[in-house]
């Protein structure tokens, strides 16, 4: 049985600029996305560090920014959220790893539209530069939070950062939308049209499924955010009143009339909620892949996993109203949004159950990537469980503007997704760079990050229930919050330690890329197609061949086989009883 087909080999481009800068190779573009996200995550983390220090020592003079004024604190909140959501959680898992591994895992030589792929990255890069530029213009970065609620975000005179800074912010978001749409177009077309022979949809690794579904969500969501952003730019600069009602600023009546701030909220959250899944779905794919590989067992309930991801993606478009319970919406609408939101618990529980089922009685190999995959599941459960609290209007209304929400979304959308990215990094660096990452440093990094993030975000739930508001620049003088200062201080210390531990990761990454132990072609004894090719993969991925697929993606523990796994391109085996 043929395991590959000979095809015409692609010639690799010569010259530094075509090879590394304006490259059309999806692998180079994937790395560009990855390192962009790595840069962005450090910017975002340092901003959060400033915030945490300011919260407990409000009069401290900080390096680079000095004493933080209330407006500057809001700028930190805004830029931290925006950079993390767009340029880290959307960029690294999908743009980075998706770009690098989706074509290889389906046996394709490249993305369907390489030029579009390159444009997508460079548009993202420009968007990032424009976003960062907001720090340096007159008035500084905007104050309106990553959700950009009008009227604050639409009135130039509303605050120091709401002039040019806010224009740059929304322009950056609009550019990012365009880039994401180009990326989504490429991912969907590639998955549908470039699969190797034998790679049926139901033989695709769950990582591919997660990138594919994420791309569909991006395609449907970013177009709406783009339209919302255009309306915002018009309100800000052309004098229209889509979002801005009659407003009085400093005793002066502005020319706007009759706009609805709620309109922005609807449009924004129609994008914003799917965005949560855009961030977390690739992590789910990676966790599924790694739990199966390192438990040496087929994934438990492959089809159920696929349908659960599709259900999560589908339901994700119908629940945006749960971000708006405070907006005075009709209780009937709130009830519908509440029920739909809680129904997402069903596919989420299916996934969690299947992950645990995969681990159950597995021959678990606790390498660093596996630790992060298990950590992902833990954080997904911990962060997810507070979701049903906030999904109920009666509970959401008192909790909405408190630290409870901060704890909830950071655990599930922030840290869980970041653990997915870490798992992917430790797992795929050997393939991407041909070097193993250091296990000892990896495990140190894992335990500090795992315990550290729980120490940071778990107590926030308690703080929220105790009434600590979020987004407040300073609360240490507020009498009823005095008792919460020690816990806040603990969180700040935990954050400093956790962020410091990320230095271990960066050192490990760069040291391993340069000096790490040489990796074999398949160091994890995994089954998917990227492990069948050379390390690092050649320009056309399979060196003049294209693989033919005969097996499912998770053939581990194969009975009677010489080794305990069958790769996807190996001669076909009888289907395992678990399928």
Partner 1 sequence: MATVTPNLAVKYPGTRDTGGGRPPSHGGGGNGDSGSSNGSDYRERLRRARLGLIVGLTAVVMMFVGFTSALLFRKGLPSLDPLTNTYTRDWIPINLPWALLAVNTAVLLASSVTMELARRDIGRQVALAPVKSIPGVSLGDERRFPWLGSTVVLGLGFLVGQFLVWRVLREHHFFVYSGPSSSFAYLLFGAHAVHLAGGVIALTYAAATSLLHRPVEARRIVIDIAGLYWHFMALLWIYIFALLLVAR
Report 132-191 residues binding partner 1 (CB under 8 A): 181, 184-186, 188-189
Within residues 257-286, the interface with partner 1 by CB under 8 A covers: 257-260, 262-263, 266-267, 270
Residue of 203, 323, 351, 410 that binds partner 1 (CB under 8 A): 203
Q: Does 245 bind partner 1 (CB under 8 A)?
A: yes
CA 344 to chain centre: 19
Number of neighbours of residue 138 by Cβ within 10 angstroms: 9
We find the least distance from the C-beta atom of residue 390 to partner 1, in angstroms, to be 25
Q: Does 515 bind partner 1 (CB under 8 A)?
A: no
Cβ(61)–Cβ(507) below 8 Å: no
We find the least distance from the C-beta atom of residue 131 to partner 1, in angstroms, to be 22
Indicate the residue among 181 and 290 with the shorter CB distance to partner 1.
181
Indicate the residue among 151 and 442 with the shorter CB distance to partner 1.
151
What is the Cα–Cα distance from 8 to 439, expressed in whole angstroms? 39
Q: Does 234 bind partner 1 (CB under 8 A)?
A: yes
We find the least distance from the C-beta atom of residue 175 to partner 1, in angstroms, to be 15
Phi and psi dihedrals of 204, rounded to 5?
Answer: -70, 140
Q: Does 470 bind partner 1 (CB under 8 A)?
A: no
Within residues 517-576, the interface with partner 1 by CB under 8 A covers: 540, 546, 549-550, 571-575
DSSP letter string, 330-378: -HHHHHHHHHHHHHTHHHHHHHHHHHHHHHTT------HHHHHHHHHHH
Residue of 35, 136, 239, 339 that binds partner 1 (CB under 8 A): 239
Q: Which stretch binds partner 1 (CB under 8 A): 5-13, 118-126, 393-401, 530-538?
A: 5-13
The CA distances from residue 526 to 124, 154, 367, 431, in Å, are: 32, 51, 13, 12
Q: By C-alpha distance, which of 548, 544, 550 is closest to 572?
A: 550
| Opening angle at CA 280, ends 274 and 286, nearest 5 | 140
Within residues 80-119, the interface with partner 1 by CB under 8 A covers: 106-109, 112-113
Q: Does 455 bind partner 1 (CB under 8 A)?
A: no
The CA distances from residue 207 to 93, 283, 305, in Å, are: 10, 8, 11
Residue reference for tokens 């573009």? 29
We find the least distance from the C-beta atom of residue 495 to partner 1, in angstroms, to be 37
Residue of 67, 197, 471, 518 that binds partner 1 (CB under 8 A): 197
Indicate the residue among 131 and 188 with the shorter CB distance to partner 1.
188
Indicate the residue among 38 and 110 with the shorter CB distance to partner 1.
110
Q: Does 336 bind partner 1 (CB under 8 A)?
A: no
Cβ(28)–Cβ(16) below 8 Å: no
Cβ(264)–Cβ(150) below 8 Å: yes
């Amino acid at each position: 049985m043929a395991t590959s087909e000979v095809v015409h080999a692609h010639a690799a481009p010569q010259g530094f600029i075509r090879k590394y800068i304006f490259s059309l190779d999806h692998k180079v573009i994937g790395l560009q996305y990855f390192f962009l996200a790595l840069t962005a995550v450090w910017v975002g983390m340092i901003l959060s560090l400033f915030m945490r220090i300011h919260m407990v020592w409000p009069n401290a003079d900080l390096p680079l920014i000095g004493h933080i004024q209330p407006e500057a604190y809001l700028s930190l909140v805004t830029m931290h959220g925006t950079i993390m959501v767009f340029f880290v959680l959307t960029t690294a898992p999908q743009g980075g790893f998706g770009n690098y591994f989706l074509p290889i895992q389906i046996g394709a030589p490249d993305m369907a539209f390489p030029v579009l792929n390159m444009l997508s990255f460079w548009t993202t890069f420009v968007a990032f530069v424009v976003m960062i530029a907001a720090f340096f213009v007159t008035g500084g970065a905007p104050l309106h939070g990553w959700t950009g609620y009008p009227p604050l975000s639409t009135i130039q005179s509303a605050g120091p950062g709401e002039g040019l800074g806010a224009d740059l912010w929304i322009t950056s978001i609009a550019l990012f939308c365009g880039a994401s749409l180009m990326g989504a177009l490429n991912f969907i077309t590639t998955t549908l049209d470039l699969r190797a022979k034998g790679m049926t949809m139901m033989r695709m690794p769950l990582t591919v499924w997660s990138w594919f579904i994420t791309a569909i969500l991006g395609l449907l969501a970013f177009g709406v955010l783009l339209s919302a952003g255009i309306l915002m730019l018009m309100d800000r600069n052309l004098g229209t009143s889509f979002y801005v009602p009659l407003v009085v600023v400093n005793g002066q009546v502005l020319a706007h009339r009759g706009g609805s701030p709620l309109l922005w909220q609807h449009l924004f959250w129609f994008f914003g909620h799917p965005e949560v899944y855009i961030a977390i779905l690739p992590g789910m794919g990676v966790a599924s892949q790694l739990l199966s590989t390192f438990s040496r067992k087929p994934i438990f309930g492959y089809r159920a996993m696929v349908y659960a991801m599709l259900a999560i993606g589908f339901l994700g478009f119908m629940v945006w109203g749960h971000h708006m319970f405070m907006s005075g919406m009709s209780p009937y609408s709130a009830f519908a949004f509440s029920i739909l939101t809680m129904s997402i618990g069903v596919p989420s529980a299916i996934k969690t159950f299947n992950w645990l089922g995969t681990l159950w009685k597995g021959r678990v190999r606790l390498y660093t990537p596996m630790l992060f995959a298990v950590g992902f599941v833990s954080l997904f459960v911990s962060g997810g469980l507070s979701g049903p609290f906030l999904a109920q209007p009666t509970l959401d209304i008192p909790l909405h503007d408190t630290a409870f929400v901060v704890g909830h979304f950071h655990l599930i959308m922030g840290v869980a997704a970041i653990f997915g990215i870490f798992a992917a990094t430790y797992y795929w660096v050997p393939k991407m760079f041909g070097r193993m990452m250091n296990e000892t440093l990896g495990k140190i990094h894992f335990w500090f990050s795992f315990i550290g993030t729980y120490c940071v975000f778990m107590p926030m739930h308690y703080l929220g229930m105790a009434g600590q508001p979020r987004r407040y620049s300073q609360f240490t003088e507020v009498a009823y919050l005095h008792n919460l200062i020690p816990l806040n201080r603990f969180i700040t210390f935990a954050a400093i330690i956790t962020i410091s531990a990320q230095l271990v990761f960066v050192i490990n990454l760069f040291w391993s890329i340069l000096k790490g132990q040489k990796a074999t072609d398949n160091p994890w004894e995994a089954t998917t197609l990227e492990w069948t090719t050379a390390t690092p993969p050649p320009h056309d991925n399979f060196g003049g061949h294209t693989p033919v697929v005969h097996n499912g993606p998770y053939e581990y523990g194969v009975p009677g086989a010489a080794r305990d796994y069958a790769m996807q391109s190996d001669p076909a085996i009888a289907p395992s009883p678990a399928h």
